[in-house]
Amino acid sequence: MRSLGIALFSGVVVLSACGGGGESHSAQSADTAASAPAAAAPASGTVAPAPITGTIHEVKMLGDAQGYRYEPATITVKPGDGIRFVMVSGGPHNVAFDPATIPADVKDQLFANMPNSPNSMDGSSPMLINPNETWELSLGNIKPGRYPFYCTPHLAMNMKGEIIVQ
């Protein structure tokens, strides 16, 4: 009976991890920007999402025989650029920022720039479940610095990355 309870609990945990929003975004040119602002509500009620005004870079989210990873794991961008995260394999994947690692004067703007996030105050994107599903992050109004991120379901498997804003 005890193992049935453990199995039931494990199933609930797995299903809840997979149940994040999975809204796809239509493909845009990888070297031109979207002109519309992000659709998320402001994270703190005072900071509005900043649109992508520069280049859109692509980061693949993978889980396969080589491990769980972002490709590239480190990406260098300019303020105003965007990053399109593409779920390739081994999902579900997401992009999460630890609020403790983000400078206080950047956190509200970064989190406001995370469209369709289930809770923009926690710094997590929606879960991407299906191959070719995408999610875009604006780096509009983000000051230069290093911003580490990770995949919540695969953090234990070291699925981490870093955005360097120049």
CATH class in words for 2-165: mainly beta
Residue 60: its H or E element: strand 56-64
What distance lies between CA 130 and its chain's CA centroid? 15
Could you state, in order of their start, the residue ranges of all structural domains in the chain? 2-165
Chain segment 49-66, per-residue pLDDT in tens: 999 999 999 999 999 999
Report pLDDT for 119: 59
Beta strands 74-77 and 134-138: pairing type?
A: unpaired
Question: Could you tell me the pTM of the whole model?
Answer: 0.74
Residue 155's nearest CA partner among 63, 50, 75 is: 63
157 in Cβ contact with 67 (< 8 Å): yes
Chain segment 122-145, per-residue pLDDT in tens: 899 999 999 999 999 999 999 999
The stretch 115-121 carries a mean pLDDT of 72
Residue 117, pLDDT above cutoff 50: yes
Report pLDDT for 45: 55
Spatial distance between the Cα atoms of 69 and 161, rounded to a whole number of angstroms: 8
Percent pLDDT > 90 in the chain is: 67
Residue 27, pLDDT above cutoff 50: no
